Amino acid sequence: MTCRTSADFYDAWSFPTEDVERDFARDSEPATWAFDHPKAWGDEEHSLDIAQELGRDENSHMYLHSALSGDGKFLAISRSFAEKIVIVDVQAREVRQVLEGTGDVVWRPVRRREGSGVAAKDDEVGGEGSPAYMLVGSAEDEGYRSGRNNTLILWDLDKNGRVLDEEEPIDPAAFAAKALGAIAPELESTHEWTKDFVDSSSLLADFEAALRKAEVAHRRRHNTVLKDANLGGFGSQSFSTDGKYLLWHYQDKSTQQRMREPDALPQVVVWDVDTSKAVHRLRGHTDAIMWSAFSPDSKTIASVSWDGTLRVYLFSTGELLWAHEHSESQSWTGAFAPDSQSIAWSLKGGRVVKVHEVATGRVLATFPEEFIDWCRCLAWHPDGDSLALCVDRSAYIWRPFDSDGNSDGNSDTDKPSNTGTLAQHFQLPFSSSWQSFAAVSSISWLGTGRRLSVAISDGTSLVYDTQHNRKELFARPAGAATSGAEQALFLVRDDARSARQQDDSRMYVSVDGDARVRYWTGVMGEAAGWWEGWGKKVKKVKKGMVKGKDGVDTFPETGKYVKITKMSSRPQEPVEGLVAGVEGKKEERDEWAERGAELWTAE
């Protein structure tokens, strides 16, 4: 049997642009490629290399975690097994700050104006000496690099993405050499330590390491540091919607090898960020907690654990509202619906997905298939009617509340429940060579929910436009060196292009496993122009035109139309001819409108 590694996979495998086992479709029509797609690394408009800031070591494993601030201005990118968090200014396309930290990173929600849902302006927050942003990151245990990180650091940043209390760094190597040089003569004369012995020992390296550790502790004296604390993973919502409270996990090591006393079992801590005090300690789980979240209305808190349970608490009192304790094997993740009335989770080893009513715990729907692998990613559409999920080689869009006639309203999970309907099923082709490597690693909705982002395990990102049945691809080329990257694609406003074009231009920003931040421009806003979504199946004859069935050049059938609203200031023919031409175009426009095309204005 041939033993294959991830390096072999990255070297040989590439995303199949022509032949997937199941593709996205609408009305039985397979999705087509958007204009100028597929794309691959190297086709981006700009890339930012952050390998040096991350301290990349070619001989060590690197897994990138990233998070976008609530206002879309800053990216925080951390590397596993290294004390580095890089803060990138998205619009300026440059690194603003490098912090110590690793693992999951979470931004505190951007502060809103009092009594409104509008973000405060730049001149209202983050003035001199006051924080505009807060970032939560992890720090590793000394000498415990294979386990879970157990210290959280809360970083205050100004409106430019920089720490408030910047200090002049020391040179640990120089100070270590100076210290050793000061004591070496006495060690040699009094204790018979020869120079060769001192030079061959680890004294200098140990001095330097001790100074580096002390330097970090000195810098962190301004930060809130939470010991024996972990952030939830797998899509956890660690902050309340208003940003006042933070969820973190205490005593969160697994009990699978040895059960502990009740007081030593994992807990979810509800932390008041402004007062630095614990409001509640939510107990009841008997194994490591994988996921925790505030509901969008912040009235309830839920957690999912390896003990196979889902527990839902009232935020106001910390009281247990209900717990689902009929699961088998480990459970991994959950997700509150946008209206806070429903909650989905994966149970029985991640093979089953259910939706419950938050108020009562009643089962509302069960996914129609039982998986053979873990489902560890759930994402509700902003409208709350659809749930995206992924497992193994598949990505699904499920409508759990569509009735199938099986629901009996019983909360007992052994009874049949509604299975809803499957709106979409995407699946990578099976490969006997790479069956444990090629997979859909995560899934998320972008912007207002028109686009679905599908992350592939090799570092490729696929975007499906549900409105236009089009796909966009940002592929890692076969052979391109990479490592894993979590939540790697973001849709943000392109300020420079929007200012030039006076529109709502968007761009994708990807955080890729080769330690590059890539900018993919030319993405239109939610109200797109007619040219967006041209499929590769449409054969262009000349710029902007295609051949119709009768052989006559015509506009592509995109469902869009250009209405001319401003005439030329220097007509080249008599006015009568121009008027006749406009009337002819009006008739053509009306014909397109009758066929269902939308009208838009080009100035």
Each residue's pLDDT tens digit, 135-152 = 999 987 554 444 445 899
Q: Given the DSSP bridges, would you call strands 560-564 and 598-602 parallel, antiparallel or unpaired?
A: parallel
Higher per-residue pLDDT: 458 or 598: 458
Residue 486 falls within a domain, yes or no? no
Residue 107 tokens, joined = 């931004």
CA distances from 247 to 79, 131, 232, 284, 302 (A): 22, 21, 8, 16, 10
Question: By CB neighbour count within 10 A (0-12 exposed, 13-18 middle, 19+ buried), where does 27 fall?
Answer: exposed
Q: Is 221 left (phi over 0), alpha (psi -120 to 50) or beta?
A: alpha
Residue 50 falls within a domain, yes or no? no
pLDDT of 112 reads 57
Domain final residue, candidates 221, 237, 259: 221
Q: Give yes or no for a contact between 107 and 135, defined as CB atoms under 8 angstroms apart.
A: yes
Domain that holds residue 187: 172-221
Provide the mean pLDDT of the chain. 83
DSSP letters, 412-464, are -TTS-----EEEEEEEPPP-SSSTTT--EEEEEEETTTTEEEEEETTS-EEEE
Higher per-residue pLDDT: 297 or 583: 297
541-543-548-552 Cα dihedral, nearest 10 degrees: -90
Q: For residues 547 and 555, give the distance between their C-alpha atoms in angstroms, rounded to a whole number.
A: 8
Report the Cα 498 to chain-centroid distance in Å: 24
In this structure, the number of other CB atoms found within 10 A of the CB of residue 536 comes to: 15
Percentage of the residues of the chain whose pLDDT score is greater than 90: 63
Based on the structure, what is the number of domains in the chain?
A: 2
**Residue 521: which of 535, 501, 542 has the closest Cα?**
501
Q: For residues 379 and 532, give the distance between their C-alpha atoms in angstroms, rounded to a whole number.
A: 26
pLDDT of 526 reads 57
Q: End-to-end CA distance of the chain: give it in Å, rounded.
A: 65
- Say yes or no to pLDDT of 372 above 80: yes
Residue 251 falls within a domain, yes or no? no
Helices (H) and strands (E) in the chain, counts: 7, 42
Alpha helices, H only, 21-96: 51-54
Residue 557 falls within a domain, yes or no? yes
Residue 390 falls within a domain, yes or no? no
* pLDDT tens for each residue of 176-198: 999 999 999 999 999 999 999 99
Residue 306 falls within a domain, yes or no? no
Residue 203 falls within a domain, yes or no? yes
- Say yes or no to pLDDT of 599 above 50: no
* pLDDT tens for each residue of 457-491: 999 999 999 999 999 999 999 888 887 777 689 99
* pLDDT tens for each residue of 220-233: 888 899 999 999 99
Residue 594 falls within a domain, yes or no? yes
CA distances from 545 to 402, 556, 582 (A): 41, 7, 20
